[in-house]
Every structure is written in structure tokens, then in C-alpha cells.
Structure 1
């Protein structure tokens, strides 16, 4: 079950970002070595009670405007609405009901989405309720008063939002692995899908589902079925570069959210870029299996060092995911396209691999013997034991005497030892450090 997506929409200056930042809380400190995933924070993960979901901030919607930038922002908001399970429609009690609010409400009605109407900047519930009721006129449901600055009414609002999430009455769990192709526009994602579909051994069937799933494609290869999530689409010529990037990031978040394995497609001619690193960072944060497919390899002049040189560049720029598998392909000529499936199967297996606690602790003991745990002011880190608690991605808990002594680099060292022993190629590993008082 992928996490629900909640889009925050409304016209400019109604306080969307303040609300977004408040809900996102301090959860935004992404590990330092993941490049700019959230510099222009447009999404964040939120937990409320038993729910985990992703919120997306959209620029302000200016319903009719001739300004290109604002039109782009509106398109982006429309896209976020299309991808969302629930839309939070924010209005401003101080400015009252304005014409543009009606237009946004019409947009949401057309989209036939579940909407929670949030009236922001209500600093005094007693005095301001009559002004809140005015928003009933939008005809889009009950207005929920909040103050994102004073943090009032937030819990009730989140209860309303989470109550609208799709219930888990999914058709029987779909066991087929889901693969998202992500990457910059023009890297060749669609041509790869077309090539996979073009092979005679591939049977295409449309996967029915919500609009969000409209571009999922089932592919059968060697009697195994895979579902490919394509993130292409929605690109218009005269877009400002940043806008295209924000778009593709939005789409990427939504695709990665629903995938087991992510194939990052890199354009061999352009080489690996900062934007590739951003997109890779999203998949890494979400703990997905990762394959880097260098496409258009047929266009590269080669000598004995080309592959090595290119691999080094990738490892250098995507240094936070040394575990990612790299393959060199050409969607154009079909070179190594079948290999994608071999690598996929391996990564899927590694994502689901479980290691017995006994074996883990043997490796742990050996690792500790070879390199002493760090100490600070005469106190040394003691590692008691380690156990695997879940898969997809493989997740481990390490029990220690003092969390503060567990240096990031030592966790990294233990991860490398585990990888040496079990491979785990193509999947990230997650580690949680827990304290246990000494007996």
C-alpha cells in the first residue's frame, strides 16, 4: 500500500507554506549527504496518529492570469491535484471570501477530488466563527478553522484529512513487482518502456486503476509479470527550466512512492547531473531498490576506459548510493535491454532478503574485533547485538549502551561489512540505533 498523497492548494498568500512547514515539522532534516532533495521543499512526509502520508505544496493558484510564471504554477497545482488522494483547500479568514476562491473551488469540483476546506489565520475561534461560516458559500463542504501560526485547530483538521484516505480494501494484494522509471525529461524513459513492450515476448495489458495509475503498464518477461510506472508526460515547450524540474520532481515523488524498484535513466550524452542526483536522492530516502540505466550508450565514442570512467563519474556524483547497480543500455538499438530484467530480479531478491540474527551477530563480532567502536571522554561504545526487523528495504536494529557514541561513520562501517557478507546489491539498508541499559 503506497502512502496517500495530500495536495495543499489555494490562491497566493493564504498561508499555504506556513501550514506546510508546520505540518512537516522538523522532519525535514534530511541526512546531509543527500543532495538538494528538499531545497525547494515541495513535499514532506507527515505522520499523524496511525497515518503516514506525503504532503505536497503547490504554488498559489491564480485562476485567470496572463503571466506565464503564474500559469505554470497553476498547471503544477492542477497536476498535484490530479495525483492527490485528498486536497486541502486553504482560504484566508482575514481577506474573507474572494472571487478567486470560487474559481479554485470550481477547479476542485471538476477534478472530483475529496476536499477539506481549511480556513487559515483564525487566531480567535470565539470571535471569528461568523467569518469562518461565510466560506460555506463555496459549496465545497464544512470550513475547518485553523491558525497555522498559533497552531490552533490543526489536530481536528488532520483528523478530517486522514478520514478521507482510501481504506485498505484493495483488491487482493498485487504481488507483482512495481518498477518506476525516473529521470530527467528526454533521458529516454518512454523509449525504454516502448522497447520493453516492443519485444515479442512481452504481453501488454492495461492496468485498470485510478487516474494516477493511468500510465502503469504490465509487462510479462520470461513468464514473470512486472508493472512499470511511467513518469513521462506533462512537458510543454515554453516552460521555464525550474518549472520543468519542479514538475518532474513532483511526478517522481508520486511514482517512487508506489514503486518497489526505481530505475534512474541517465542520458549518456549529457552525463550524470545535479538534477539526476536530486531524483536519485528521493528514491534513496524512500529506501527503494535502485538501478541506474545509462541510456543512449550507442552514441558514445568508446575506448577501453569509457565504461570505467563513466562509472566513476556516477559513483562520484551519486556517492550517497554506492549500492546502486549500473547498466549501460540503448533503447534505440535494444542493446542490453533484456539485461534490465536480470538485474531487476536480483535487486528484488535483495530487497526481500532476510539474514538470521545468529549470522548477523557473528559478522558484528568480527567487525568489532577488526575495528574498535568509537569512544568519547573515556566512555566506549558497546554494541550488544543486532537484528533484522523488516525488508523492502532490509532494516536492522543495533542495540548499544549509548546512542550518542554511535558515530555515523561507524554505522557506515558496519553496513559495509554486512554488504561484504551478503551483497545486498541494488538496495539501500536502513539502520536504527537503540539504547539498552547495562545490566
Structure 2
């Protein structure tokens, strides 16, 4: 399965990583989602240079643990350096190209040397971006960073954009070549188990594999420490992708928290269906919503699993009340099936693979143009399109252009008049009539003369 390469920005605080990140992707990326009802950090985005697409991850600086942020640590602090080692190690494992962002005006610091010492151990391409060199007269100061022994040094100004073209050239040159083996068709349904640490991810994986007793073989994943599990159930092959837990905010260092995005992205881009595991004892947290938001971004199928249900004190009202709470807090995943399970005891674990098959079928469900336009006519009759400045939005016809996820193009007279509320109305009516359980759907609105085959 082909995927975009990942480029990780590494470095200490206040060297301009986020500014450079926004410059590279061509826009300011807000911390709030464009999906109603969600607030989550957006730490990654797709970029393209010279016709080559890749994903940029803004990992953030080295930050203090919660409760100890009254003053920054000095570069020479013994407490500071272990954090750098941990973060650099994660980037070293999971990124395809690493960009070490440094302060070109400040020169080499102890923290820069510590990161460089670790990055020199990897075979991954490393590019140094010597930032904050707003004047070309300062560019010669960038040569100092060749002392780190990591490779090419590019003088840049994230603030003004100078030097970023050279940086992008160096990034693209370091990206791995296309491997035809990545596009070999895998007939199995690929399942990713995602969740915070200690929600029972490993226990669930072991229970699913152990109960079936039909392991074909462990196969190496795309990262060096990942092991995928193959199993067959009711004649269908599944691949359960090994995933690292996504940590909660406030429990560990925030910088390391941000690096977990690297692994989550790589996992999701290999998956068909994701199992979002929630701790039934603790309830929904902001980090659960953060993970759920990533699932919508990557367009994978989703099943929400409330784990540890065996230890939750409950009566006849507990389950419906809990379901309402989950639906309210994760309202952007309203289409996802919800199961209450116990990975420890196996309660309802036997229902998971059946639900996965249902979601996978929904991801590949195709509507005929006739079905879609019959629905469109009903939508327009029962809820006429909006009018603006005396002009009414008109729908001409609709067609489905892609699967996994189902993608629909609607041709209209004025695409800019299709506001979010009307899009949501169309999606709700679509889901009422057709089986898109557990899968996002993409709605695209275009002018009449646009090509429907280019979503």
C-alpha cells in the first residue's frame, strides 16, 4: 500500500519550527478543526514540492512537564538532555527525512549537539535548517552548523520565506524512492488499534489473536519495531497493525507527546479500519478526541470500543447514558459503531471482526448515478438550497467518483454557496438511506464544467 513519506521537524524551543512548518505547507494551520464539535492540535499536513508529495510533522520543542513550566530549563541542564534523546530517537525511527531546525543567529548550543549526536547514528537523511537568518549578510553564519556532521545546512528565514526553496529541494532529494512493492495488492483488511497507553490496546490485540487461534504469521511492519499479526476469520484475512499508544497530555513530557503523531500517521495510512479504544473507567478525554480527529483526517473506517466494561459499576441506565456521553463528546464520529467490551475477559470481543467487515463493506459501497440523483432530488424538494444576494444555489447532478472512502461530486451553479450546514444536511440524508456505517464520506461541490473524475 503506497503512502506519503514523512518529514519530521526536530529541534529545541523557539527556533521557529512552527513558523517554518506553516511556511512549508503554505498556510497557517490553526489548532482548531474545521469539523464542528472538535478541538485538537493539528501537528501535521501534506505538502508538495516539484511534483513530489509528502507529509510534514511539526513535533514541537522540548517542553517541561505539567506543573514545572514556571521557567525554561537551561541548555546545560541534566534534566533537559534526556528529553532530547527520547524525542530524537522517536523521530529517528519513524521519519523518512529529518529536518533539524536550529537558531542560526544563536549558533550551536548544547541541545543542538545532543540531538546531532543521536541523529548521526541513523541512516535517515538529515537536513539542517539554520533559521532566523533574515538578512543574506548573515547566511555565512550557517556554515558553523556543518560542525555537527549531519549533512547539508540550509540558511533560511521562516519569517520571510527566504531559503525555503533550497530547503525543500534538499528534503525532496532525501525522500525514499518509490518502491513498486508498496503497491502490491493486499487482500486482507488492515486493522489499526489506537488509543492512549493503558487503555488495553495490547491486551485486546492478544485476545483477538489468541481467541481465534488462526495466526498465519507475524510479518514485519513498515517501522523497525512494528509486528503485524495475520489472522483469518469466516474466510476473511485480517492484518492487525501493531501500534504505539498515544499518550495523554499532562502525564508525560509534551514534546514526546507530539512525537507520537509520527507513529499514528504511519499506522493510519496503512489501515482500512481503526479501532479507537477508550478506557471505560476513565471516560472520554481530550486526547481521545484528538485521536478521533486524526481518524477523520486520514479517512479510515472507525469503530469506537469502550474497554474495561467489566469493571465499570453499572445498572440498567449505565450503558445508554455512557453511549450518549460518547456520542456527544465524539460527535464528529457519529457514524462510527460503538461496542462495549472487555479485552481482559473477552466480553464482546468476538463481535469486533464482524463489525470491521461491515465497516469495510461500507467503505467500498458504490451508489449508481441514478440512486444518487434520486436522493438529490428529494433533498432539494424537502430542504431547498440557500439563496444569497438574490441568487439561489442550484444542483445539476451528482456522481460517485471514488471508494474507500466513498466520495461524491455534486455539480452546482455556485460552489461557494454550499455552506457547512447544508453539506451536513446532505450527508445526514445520504447516511439515512444508504449503508455507510463506520466510514467517512467525502462531499465535493464543483461548477458545472469541472471534471468529475478529479476529486
TM-score, normalised relative to structure 1: 0.89
Q: Is the 8 A contact 1:383 1:401 kept in 2?
A: yes
Matched, 1:214 2:215: no
CA distance in 1 between partners of 2:197 and 2:344 (Å): 16
SS in 2 for 1:199: helix
- Aligned counterpart, 1:141: 151
Matched, 1:351 2:357: no
Instruction: Find 2:120's aligned residue among 109, 116, 125.
Output: 109
| Unpaired runs of at least 5, structure 2 | 63-73, 451-455
| CA apart distance, 1:170 | 3.9
CA distance in 2 between partners of 1:36 and 1:288 (Å): 19
Q: Counterparts in 2 of 1:6-21, with a 5 A limit?
A: 6-21=7-22
Instruction: Find 1:276's aligned residue among 288, 294, 306.
Output: 288
The superposition leaves residues 321-358 of structure 1 with CA deviations (integer Å, 9 ceiling, x where unpaired) of 21011112111111221211101011111112222222
Q: Is the 8 A contact 2:11 2:112 kept in 1?
A: yes
The superposition leaves residues 231-255 of structure 1 with CA deviations (integer Å, 9 ceiling, x where unpaired) of 335979x953756754555543342
CA 1:377 to 1:67, structure 2 compared with 1: closer, same or farther past 3 Å? same
CA distance in 2 between partners of 1:63 and 1:173 (Å): 49
Moved more, 7-16 or 181-190: 7-16
| CA apart distance, 1:94 | 1.9
Q: Is the 8 A contact 2:18 2:60 kept in 1?
A: no
Q: Is the 8 A contact 2:247 2:257 kept in 1?
A: no
CA 1:351 to 1:50, structure 2 compared with 1: closer, same or farther past 3 Å? farther
- Aligned counterpart, 1:226: 238
Matched, 1:263 2:275: yes
- Aligned counterpart, 1:185: 197
Matched, 1:324 2:327: no
CA distance in 1 between partners of 2:102 and 2:435 (Å): 52
Matched, 1:364 2:376: yes
CA distance in 2 between partners of 1:170 and 1:216 (Å): 21
CA distance in 1 between partners of 2:269 and 2:75 (Å): 29
The superposition leaves residues 57-81 of structure 1 with CA deviations (integer Å, 9 ceiling, x where unpaired) of 234469864236x643542343133
The superposition leaves residues 283-338 of structure 1 with CA deviations (integer Å, 9 ceiling, x where unpaired) of 01221100001111222344333322222111111111210111121111112212
Q: Is the 8 A contact 2:195 2:245 kept in 1?
A: no
SS in 1 for 2:331: coil
Q: Is the 8 A contact 2:88 2:119 kept in 1?
A: no
CA distance in 2 between partners of 1:266 and 1:60 (Å): 28
SS in 2 for 1:187: coil
- Aligned counterpart, 2:57: 56
CA distance in 1 between partners of 2:225 and 2:49 (Å): 26
Q: Is the 8 A contact 2:218 2:229 kept in 1?
A: yes
SS in 2 for 1:47: strand
| CA apart distance, 1:200 | 4.5
Root mean square deviation of aligned Cα: 2.7
CA distance in 1 between partners of 2:374 and 2:242 (Å): 42
CA 1:34 to 1:73, structure 2 compared with 1: closer, same or farther past 3 Å? farther
CA 1:242 to 1:58, structure 2 compared with 1: closer, same or farther past 3 Å? closer
Q: Is the 8 A contact 2:84 2:114 kept in 1?
A: no
Q: Is the 8 A contact 2:276 2:304 kept in 1?
A: yes
CA 1:142 to 1:246, structure 2 compared with 1: closer, same or farther past 3 Å? closer
Moved more, 291-300 or 208-217: 208-217
Q: Is the 8 A contact 2:97 2:126 kept in 1?
A: yes
CA distance in 1 between partners of 2:431 and 2:7 (Å): 36
Moved more, 76-85 or 211-220: 211-220
CA 1:245 to 1:9, structure 2 compared with 1: closer, same or farther past 3 Å? closer
CA distance in 2 between partners of 1:25 and 1:433 (Å): 23
SS in 2 for 1:160: helix
| CA apart distance, 1:97 | 3.8
Matched, 1:123 2:134: yes
| Unpaired runs of at least 5, structure 1 | none
Q: Is the 8 A contact 1:63 1:104 kept in 2?
A: no
TM-score, normalised relative to structure 2: 0.86
CA distance in 1 between partners of 2:207 and 2:411 (Å): 48
CA 1:35 to 1:362, structure 2 compared with 1: closer, same or farther past 3 Å? same
Q: Counterparts in 2 of 1:26-105, with a 5 A limit?
A: 26=27, 28-29=29-30, 30-38=33-41, 41-60=42-61, 65-67=77-79, 71-72=82-83, 74-105=85-116
CA distance in 2 between partners of 1:286 and 1:367 (Å): 28
CA 1:377 to 1:80, structure 2 compared with 1: closer, same or farther past 3 Å? same
The number of equivalent residue pairs is 433
The superposition leaves residues 381-418 of structure 1 with CA deviations (integer Å, 9 ceiling, x where unpaired) of 10111111212211111111112321211111111221
- Aligned counterpart, 1:157: 167
The superposition leaves residues 23-66 of structure 1 with CA deviations (integer Å, 9 ceiling, x where unpaired) of 2333635315252222xx43333333433332222344698642
- Aligned counterpart, 1:340: 352
- Aligned counterpart, 1:310: 322
CA distance in 2 between partners of 1:349 and 1:394 (Å): 11
CA distance in 2 between partners of 1:190 and 1:179 (Å): 14
